[in-house]
């Protein structure tokens, strides 16, 4: 992988990291609200549960992004963590935090092996 490609992926990852970092700081949607109306409480509980799930998903994605940035630093970026094959550049373009090649990611999604990273749940795009 060329230095310019690495720099392009690094810029993409850093931009996404910044975006997620700002979003994770806002937790107002998780506040517990009590109202006299039971229907409002049910609605608030549903909204709170959705906000918690979104926060969890974004937190795991941020971990995946930071893992990819660490792999850039140590020179292992773009190589599957499981089989050591090169990850397709189209895949990295779509999912720059990808830690696995498509084949290994599919196996991880089917739980055929325990992934060592939090990446597997956030690589929904298989290119």
> Domain holding 65: CATH number?
1.20.120.910
Give the pLDDT score at 20.
Answer: 87
Give the pLDDT score at 41.
Answer: 80
pTM comes to: 0.73
Q: Which has the closest alpha carbon to 24: 77, 68, 66, 71?
A: 66
Contacts of 42 (CB under 8 A, 6+ apart): none
Q: What is the mean pLDDT of residues 79-103?
A: 96
Contact between 91 and 98 (Cβ < 8 Å):
yes
pLDDT at 119 over 60: no
Q: Which domain holds residue 82?
A: 3-122
Give the pLDDT score at 92.
Answer: 96
Q: Please check whether residue 23 lies inside any domain of the structure.
A: yes
Q: Please check whether residue 127 lies inside any domain of the structure.
A: no
Q: Please check whether residue 108 lies inside any domain of the structure.
A: yes
Contacts of 70 (CB under 8 A, 6+ apart): none
Q: Please check whether residue 48 lies inside any domain of the structure.
A: yes
DSSP designation for 112: S
Domain count across the chain: 1
pLDDT at 104 over 90: yes
In tens, the pLDDT along 26-83 reads 665 555 666 677 888 888 888 888 888 988 899 999 999 999 999 999 999 999 999 9
Q: Which has the closest alpha carbon to 77: 4, 10, 30?
A: 10
Q: Please check whether residue 84 lies inside any domain of the structure.
A: yes
């Amino acid at each position: 992988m060329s230095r310019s490609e690495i720099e392009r992926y690094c810029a993409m990852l850093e931009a996404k990291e910044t975006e997620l970092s700002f979003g994770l700081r806002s937790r107002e949607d998780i506040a517990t609200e009590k109202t006299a109306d039971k229907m409002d409480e049910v609605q608030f509980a549903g909204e709170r549960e959705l906000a918690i799930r979104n926060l969890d998903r974004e937190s795991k994605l941020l971990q995946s992004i930071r893992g990819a940035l660490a792999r850039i630093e140590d020179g292992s970026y773009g190589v599957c963590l499981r089989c050591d094959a090169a990850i397709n550049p189209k895949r990295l373009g779509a999912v720059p935090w990808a830690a696995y090649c498509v084949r290994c990611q599919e196996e991880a999604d089917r739980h055929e092996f325990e992934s060592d990273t939090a990446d597997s749940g956030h690589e929904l795009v298989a290119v």
